Amino acid sequence: MFKFFGGCPQVVAPDNLKSAVTIAHRYDPVVNPAYTRLAVHYGFAVVPVRVKTPQDKAIVERTIQCFQRWFFMRVRKMVFTSLVSLNKTLAESLEIFNKKIHRVFKKTRREMFENEKNFLMSLPKDPSFETFVKLMVLKSEETIEQTSQVFTANAEL
């Protein structure tokens, strides 16, 4: 996604879905470890939106709703035989949608993005990002064996 935008924002505000936020809390949310590693890799801060406060992301949510309705109306009679053709139509539709003048701001979404693009951080030199998370159960002797390494842990944790 960041490659599409040509940069990375300084702050990402995800919804409280489990892939981003493990424990939702107003003042001290627990961010998913994999999401945290992604944030460290790209250098952005994760500030989850508050629970049950749709006004925090109102403009984004409304734009997605407008695009979905417009796109589904546009392709309702089309038949897609492959994911490639669907993605091609989606990309073309997104380009058209971004060139439409916004009713409130009196600018196209493309123009608004170009004005804000200068605030994006540059992407990391190495675009690849891998993460590995594995849930393990302690054996009776309080050890975990991973490949050739053995880890000890306190059973009371």
Does the model's pTM come out above 0.85?
no
Say which range, 23-32, 96-105, 115-124, has the weakest mean pLDDT: 23-32
Q: pLDDT tens, 51-79?
A: 877 777 878 888 999 999 999 999 999 99
- Which domains does the chain show, CATH number per domain? 2-130 (3.30.420)
CA angle 43, 45, 49 (to 5 degrees): 150
Please provide residue 36's backbone torsions phi and psi, each rounded to the nearest 5 degrees.
-65, -45
> CA dist 64 to 23, 28, 55, 129, Å?
26, 28, 14, 27
